[in-house]
Structure 1
């Protein structure tokens, strides 16, 4: 069963293939409907603009049909277990895409009971398909990821954890995460990435916003309150002082060819200035587009197992 729950469940070759396939899926001349006759279930427990739309349109563009479920649509609200729900869904659907915002263990429980692939569209600590979209965007733009460097600035959230794992799967790609102290990657995420990358020194994290790398190819920011969830500390914003991506920061760490990424939604004027988000070097809208192509690549792999080209 080809579940996509965490990138750390996949091998480096599979991650690389998914990135390449996401780039291929952007070809406007692409043809073929490998999911014709298949039904994809999409469950979202929270509001979503990009990821829900991306998976829905991805399934449709691949020829499949879509069933949508919201947080109040399933009998788990009345006490049925997720495992029993998964067993039932396995008789109706060909894959189940889920955004729970909960622990990954919950998705693993669902996947264990399923006879269909389960795809993580965002859990509490990882957003695997976001990272595939991120690197597909850079792969398309630069042509080759080897030797490139990314600076991630902001909270060590689910997007950051997935990005670190995806970077670890790409030979020669460097990532520096600069996160506020107390808002960095979880120790479990750091240990897992080190294990996945076999101790590679190309992925590093520190908390000094005054010590940024030079000559980076991409600067990546995210919203400081993931999914709009309030931080427990009322004074949390003070920890992010200096972490806003400005034109001055872009100039200080990169050059004319340095690009900007953001997983969106952005809080304009807080995590990034308008002139960066809307600037010439911004790839955020293409990055959002690649959420759909990455969803196409993941759905094709999970359901079919290999690329299916039209004859």
Structure 2
């Protein structure tokens, strides 16, 4: 069994195979094999979720697995049982656990600690949203036929979605990720530094600036997320004034007229993005949402079986 807690739990070959497999699922090249027919998948969400929970539930069922769902008040962790003890019990009854818990990355690692009978998938923690990045890469691959060489502009908070996108995209040759984040709300230093190192090794570029001036053009995709990430608050009471300059409007397409628009959803029209953009012809945000299911299927297969019929998503593999 393989855990997927961080994008960097995947080798380059793993990452490319999951993206390739998810792209094939999205293209509906064939009816999914029942590769998880003998598996039981636990779906445990202590935080709200529409796309990720539905994607993994639907994806597991389509691959032949049975699912057991748990809500925020269902487990004895609420009465003092440790995560480790609960995980030891789960591992004797479940084959995989897809979890969104408190957001604490240490807790997510605790679910996986010492487990060799049950795979654990991080369905979002405070520092990373790895399965969102997989959906993003599948979306780009499906739209452009490749990930290599694509230029992506990310506008908004350097949150867990931005972190996983940076850690994933920086491993594909020739890509450029330009992040424009509000001052004080950028990527965590450790995430940015790792993404920059990976980009240098892969022949890619990751750059972050805290203003919207002097934007380069010719982006293939413009990406944003909502300003208030699920389960978080901001200490600055006037943060909306700071974020206003980072709203995605149609003006961003003046230098990139062919760019698509991406959003991990849910969206708040008029905050991080205008309705004109989200509902306009350049938007592929709802294709991106659907691709969460296809990438979830590929991730579950990887956790259970490793590389399956992967083909290539391009570029070199290794690491």
> What's the TM-score bracket when you normalise by the shorter of the two chains?
over 0.9
Matched, 1:238 2:241: yes
Q: Which moved more, 1:233-242 or 1:178-187?
A: 233-242
Equivalent runs, 1:92-107 vs 2, <5 Å: 92-107=93-108
- In 1, the alpha carbon distance for the partners of 2:111 and 2:3 equals 11
Query: What corresponds to 2:208 in structure 1?
Result: 205
1:43 is aligned to 44
Range moving further from structure 2, 183-192 or 290-299: 183-192
TM-score (norm 1): 0.95
> Could you say what secondary structure the match of 1:18 adopts?
helix
1:119 is matched with which residue? 121
The 2-side partners of 1:144 and 1:299 are apart by 22
- Aligned match of 2:130: 128
Range with bigger deviation, 192-201 or 90-99: 192-201
Contact (CA 8 Å) 1:34, 1:308: kept in 2 or not?
no
Report how far residue 145 of structure 1 moved.
Answer: 2.1
C-alpha RMSD of matched pairs (Å): 1.5
Farther off after superposition, 153-162 or 231-240: 231-240
Q: 1:91 to 1:308 in 2, by over 3 A?
A: farther
Q: How much does 1:243 deviate?
A: 0.9
Distance (Å, rounded) in 2 between the aligned partners of 1:26 and 1:278: 22
Contact 2:174 2:204 in 1 (8 A): no
Per the normalisation by structure 2, the TM-score is 0.92
- Identify which range, 1-10 or 290-299, moves more after superposition: 1-10
- Aligned with residue 226 of structure 2, among 218, 223, 226: 223
Structure 1 unaligned segments of length 5 or more: list them: none
**8 A Cα contact 1:41 1:68, kept in partner:** yes
The verdict on how the C-alpha distance between 1:246 and 1:228 changes in structure 2, with shifts beyond 3 A counting, is farther
Is it true that 1:33 corresponds to 2:39 in the alignment? Answer: no
Does the CA contact (< 8 Å) of 1:153 and 1:179 recur in 2?
A: yes
SS of alignment partner, residue 181 of structure 1: coil
Question: What CA distance in whole angstroms lies between the structure 2 residues aligned with 1:231 and 1:61?
Answer: 39
Mapping for residues 80-229 of structure 1, pairs under 5 Å: 80-114=81-115, 115-198=117-200, 202-227=205-230, 229=232
